[in-house]
Chain A
């Protein structure tokens, strides 16, 4: 299972970076989105075995003395949760930035945007 998820994360990573290296600014944004998925998935997968119960406890809390965790590890989940929301904010910002650059330069071409900056 880990193998499958690791390959998926790697595949998303490769696809995202390939898009970011295209000369088109819009593809850059799509690439950023894919890379952030890949990163989240990597953190999530690296943290341990899949197919666990969610980290929701019974009303009396965790029974003491349990050696192995009865539920999925909540720490990477908390990390990834905020990463998803921040990723949304960053993606929105990048999207609007590209949009603005296109309005100013009149082209989707990163090279032209670069020369317009000089």
Chain B
């Protein structure tokens, strides 16, 4: 059992003292798995639950992992399958509180525009899951090729999804402000945004 006074990192190290590369690789992938899950699920607790399900599936299937291949990508495939095969897909709701905290870090978006991260992530939450995953896999740590392999589609498909999703995001943010849940609404009642998300027909469309 873990000692309560030790920092988490050293607990991980001492617990993995008998050098289990699978376990270590799993731990190493956890931050990225959590980030990917949160981008798909929106809500932190739903996302973390998805990551834990992923850990259990991966652990049970560990003998089928081929050492030397990309463990992180393998774990992402499991997480993604868990997401699409479970009820979580319908539970997509943005964690606006966490996103709002990023707001001062808006990035420059050209001569006349400034992109606000909270606006961006509210718009992101409106996208279909296959666009979300294409954006986040490639924004995170994967190449287009790896993202395509994880999603089980062609590289060109990932590229066009990313391109279309970015254009869609820009339209949502600047062109059609009325289609985005307003910031005040989001702060006061996230469940409104939740039901808006549920009512979007694209959310119910199967990926393949």
Q: Specify whether A and B are partners.
A: no
> Taking beta carbons and an 8 Å cutoff, which residues of A are in contact with B?
none
